[in-house]
Structure 1
Amino acid sequence: MEGGDGGSTAPPLHPGLTPLSYLIGKWRGEGEGGFPTINSFKYGEEITFSHSGKPVMSYFQKTWKLASGQPMHSESGYWRPKQDGSIEVVISQSTGLVEVQKGTYDAGKKVVKLQSELVGNASKVKEITRVFELVDGELSYVVQMATSLIGLQPHLKALLKKL
């Protein structure tokens, strides 16, 4: 059977991904979460950005409880940066929730800002924003969320190191 990932050599990077090439690879660290309706919590996290030679990056994230290593949440999707500095992102969460995000990236400052256009299959979540930023070589991100009862509030933040 042919096809698949038979070799270990990565395809050449598509020029459209050059502005976000610093993200490609595996990142690991810790984060903390909360929301007015839930108890605060801490977690371990790993994010992987990869590519297939096309102008799109694959995104996979998983989290676990720090004390036990027990899996918590995972999500995956695709990031499509455009030459004009805009970006389209789709994310599917293990909870069944899906996000269609649009935003901007600044290759010089190494910042990606995303705003939900659509949050689907969610009874309460109405809006999600995400900001990813490279700070002193570490990937920092902040997620804010709004529900049908509570406006946009901080939900998650983490700091990850590249492996």
Structure 2
Amino acid sequence: MQPGPIHKDLNALKWIIGKWGSIKAEGSFPTIESFKYCEEISFTSVGQPVLNYSSLSWHPIKLNPMHLESGFLRVKPGTNQVSFMVAHNFGLTSLEEGCFTENKLEVKSSRIERMHFAKDPKVLEIVRTYELLQDGNLELILSMSTTNTPLTQHLKVQYLKCLL
């Protein structure tokens, strides 16, 4: 159930609205060991041309939390342009901008800030692509660059829409 009506400028993004649970989630990066994880994300309407976003990931065996994100996906009214504002629990905020089509949302960081005591290396760039696949699942591919590593795929997740 949506907490608010869907704004007309979000009609073309209805495919991403809802709660999604991972069915396959893998991460890798040149500076860490590859890993598997579980994740739940949600995009919910508040009646404005913006979606509330949240993400919670956890270890598939130990069940301990791994990463948390929260933010807003705002549409520029009358266009397919979006801004994705995300706060990460490890002390990073990102403003990611891009556009969407009838089944794909692509954003790239335009600004990244971090708390002064955040752990190195610094994240320099984030690129996210959400795509609604033909089978109705949602796929996320997230790439990032740091002060030590050029732009590299970091996460690949397939989600199944949760029925409420």
* Of 116-125 and 92-101, the range deviating more from structure 2: 116-125
Which residue is 2:125 aligned to? 127
Aligned equivalents of 2:87, 2:59: Cα separation in 1: 21
Task: Please name the residue that 1:91 is paired with.
Answer: 86
Give the C-alpha shift of residue 10 in structure 1. Answer: 3.8
Tell me what 1:156 maps to.
155
Question: Between the two proteins, what is the percent identity of the paired residues?
Answer: 37
Q: CA deviation at 1:9?
A: 7.0
Aligned to 1:24: 17
3-state SS of 1:120 partner? strand
- Residue 25 of structure 1 deviates from its aligned partner by 1.1
For structure 1, which runs of at least 5 residues remain unmatched after alignment?
Answer: 1-7
**Equivalence map 1:1-80=2 (5 Å):** 10-29=3-22, 30-80=24-74
- What is the RMSD of the two structures over their aligned residues, measured on CA atoms? 1.4
SS in 1 for 2:91: coil
Contact (CA 8 Å) 2:132, 2:139: kept in 1 or not?
A: yes
Dislocated runs of 4+, deviation >3 Å: none
> Between Structure 1 and Structure 2, how many residues are aligned?
154
Q: 2 CA distance for matches of 1:59 and 1:144?
A: 19
Where in structure 2 are there 5+ consecutive unaligned residues?
Answer: none
Partner Cα distance (2:150, 2:110) in 1: 16
For normalisation by structure 2, the TM-score amounts to: 0.89
Distance 1:74 1:143 in 2: 15
